[in-house]
Structure formats: C-alpha cells, structure tokens
Chains A and B, each alone.
Chain A
Amino acid sequence: MKQLLAAAACAVVLLTVRVAAHHSFAAEYDANQPVTVSGTVTKIDWTNPHIHFYIDVKDVSGTLTAWKFEGYPPNMLVRQGWKRDVTLKPGDVVTVYGWKAREDQALGAAREITFADGHKMTAGPPAGTGGR
C-alpha cells in the first residue's frame, strides 16, 4: 500500500510539474496568499512571455497602490476569447483574483478578472502549475 501511495504521489508530482506555461508558478508566487483587489486599469503590456497589467487600488484610508499583475501570454488569451485593446482597457474598473508574489508587495499572478458588468475572464493559470 505504501508503495502504491508513493507511486501515486510521484504521478501527481509529475502531472503537476508538466502543466507549465512558461515558468514554475511557485518560483515567484505564493499559492498560500490569494489576493482579490479592485481598481482602475492604468496600463497593459501585451507582451510575451506574459502580459502584465496595472491597476490603481484605493484602500479604505484612500491610499492608492499601483498593483501589477502577470497573466497568460497573448497567444493563450486570444485563443480564450480575449482581444487586444478591447477586452481590457485603461480606465476599466475591474476586480482581480490571483495570488501574491513572494517578494514584491504589489505584484500578483492574475487568475480571473471580473469586469464592471459582472462578466469574468480567465487571465492566467491556476496556482501550483509548473512545480512546487
């Protein structure tokens, strides 16, 4: 039974490490620190190997923090229905769900964006892809 469990564990590890888009999720981001922030989009870098987008987030005291999020590369986003300069634009008010970076305080890996009209778009991979 122990051998079986060990084999199963290895299989899970192998499966997990193979689901990598560009780099190991855990290299930079912490799956134990999910984050949800709302704010106004200020800029989008539509680049490889990741897009990045920036949103100004105001806390309860009115302090503004410029958050930066990483997402899938353009080629994956367009195949999931995104359009450059249309889906996400400066000025859009959005809520971003993702995970915080290990190092930078206002950097995150975006998983899903909720737009002002309530519709949601996948923005990046689930936590844990690409290794532990």
Chain B
Amino acid sequence: MTDVVKTRAATAALLIALVLAVASAQKSASKIPRMADGKPDLTGVWITGALQLLIGEDEARKIQQADAAAARTLPPPEPAPYNAEGERQRQYFLSRRGIDDPMARCFISGVPRITTRPLPFQIIQMKDQVLILYEAHHAFRIIPTDGRKHPDDLEPSFLGDSVGHWEGDTLVVDVIGFNTKTWLAGVGTIHSEKLHVVERYTRDSVDTVRYDVTMEDPEFFTKPWHEHEIFRLRPHERLREYECIENNEDLLRFEKLLQTDPTLRK
C-alpha cells in the first residue's frame, strides 16, 4: 500500500469513527428520559465519587471499563486555588492528619462534598422544583426551579440555599448562604461564608449524569475551582439510613491522640 492510499484509508477510518461517535452521542441523548415539559428527567438513585468504597473494587472496575469503552472521560482534577492565607490554613489541617475534618465529627457535609460522599442519593424531579435526598446524614435539598431568587434573610447553613434554572438540557443550581463548618472536597479544603457554588447537572445518557461544579470564594481562592464527576444510575438501589453519630468513637480517639501524639500537639 502506498503512503497516499494509507493516508486516505486512515482518513476514511477516522471519518467513519467520527460519524459513528456523533450518531452514538445523538442516539444516547435522544434516549434519555424527559419530563412532560421536555426537560431531561434526573429522577433516580445515583452514586458517584469513590465508587470502590461503596460497591467494592470489582464492581467499580466494571464501571471504569465501561467508561473506557464509551470514551467517557473527565478533565483532570484541579489543585485547590488557595491564596496564601487559605493555603496556610489548609496546610495546618493537613499537618494534623485530618482530625479536624467536620465529616469525621459527623457534621453534615456541604456542597459539593455531600454529593461526592460514597453513599447514594436520590433525585426527585418535579415540575417546579428538584429534591435531592442524600443517604449521608439524612440530608436533603429543595431546589426551586420556578424562577425565584435566593431569599434575602439567609442564615449561614451547612448546605446553603439552592435555586435552579434550566439552560438547555442542563440543570444549573446556584448555591450561597454557607456557614464555615464544612470542607469542600477533602482534608483542609476550607471556605468562607462568601463561598458561591454553581452546579451543573446534565443527563448525558440513560445511565449517567455529568456533574460540573464551580466554586468561588473571594476570601480564600485566587480563582474559581472546578470539580467534575459522573453520576451512575442505580435502578435497583434504595437509600438506607446512615446515622453517623450512632457510635462515633473517632472523636474520643482524636482527643487521646491530641494528648499523646507530639506531632499533633500544636
């Protein structure tokens, strides 16, 4: 085969692959369930985050393999864009190996961490509001999608206040009104009351929702911080009860460590 023929064959193969991929994407998008008003229906029980912790390594590996087969990828994780003071505080909490983590103290995780906890959550979509029920901490969010604005009498809270609207096939949720008793994504990922989170939920296939989050914090961040996840539909899953405070021995052990471990006595 000459080089010209080889090049043409390669180009043809590439075009065919492209056409098939586009067709597949269109087919996938057209098959997603929709509400009577035509909006994508996000209703269902979903899991995301560290799947291996929830469903085990073997099941998680199957999902990873399916992702690879479907060429489903996420942008690489971004480092937290802390300014000098934010980074100083984050390093302090890292130096204490995470014993100050609000999650370890059984506080409700905020947004977006509540979503990425390795426990399922259930979305119930209605005409003018979306409810999210989280297995973690019995937490729930009511997200109006009827055009209303955030209330003007917000008290700082763990989950903040959410209002949603649709941009095409994407549910966009604006969240403000946070307290400072949660971390965003892991050890030391602090934030201020000025935290502003925008979540984008896009049902990109029958089995998945693409979740894109932008976090802004003028007090601690130098620029917006982005996080991306894929939700997996679990049709046969149900939410169970998770009462974190039932037997949280970790707190007592942390107190003991603070008294006995020289690296923690700061």
B224 at the interface (CB under 8 A from A): no
Q: How far is the CB of B181 from chain A (nearest CB, A)?
A: 16
Contact residue among A10, A48, A52, A102 (Cβ-Cβ distance under 8 Å from B261): A102
Cα A78 to Cα B187 with chains together (Å): 27
The answer to whether B250 touches A49 (Cβ under 8 A) is yes
Instruction: Evaluate whether A14 and B98 lie within 8 angstroms (CB atoms) in the complex, with A24-B104, A103-B256, A103-B260 already known.
Output: no
| Interface size grouping (class) on chain A | 35 or more
Q: Which of B79, B103, B237, B247 contacts A7 (CB 8 A)?
A: B79
- CA–CA, A72 and B55, complex, Å: 11
- Does B247 lie within 8 Å of A48, measured CB to CB? yes
In this assembly, does A64 line the interface, its C-beta being within 8 Å of a C-beta of chain B? Answer: no
Number of B residues, CB within 8 Å of A:
47
Q: How far is the CA of A59 from the CA of B188 in the complex (A)?
A: 41
B189 smallest CB distance to A (angstroms)? 7
Whose C-beta in chain B lies nearest to the C-beta of A16?
B186
Chain A contacts with B in 1-39, Cβ cutoff 8 A: 7, 10-11, 13-24, 26-28
Are A26 and B246 touching (Cβ within 8 A)? no
Which of A13, A48, A80 is B246 in contact with, Cβ under 8 Å?
Answer: A48
- A: residues with CB less than 8 A from B are 7, 10-11, 13-24, 26-28, 45, 47-50, 52, 72-73, 75-76, 78-81, 101-104, 122, 125, 129-132
The 4 closest A-B pairs by CB, nearest first: A24-B98, A17-B186, A23-B104, A131-B187
Query: Would you list 12 pairs from A and B whose C-beta atoms are within 8 A, ordered by A residue?
Result: A13-B79, A17-B188, A17-B189, A18-B116, A18-B186, A20-B186, A22-B103, A28-B250, A49-B247, A122-B56, A130-B187, A131-B188
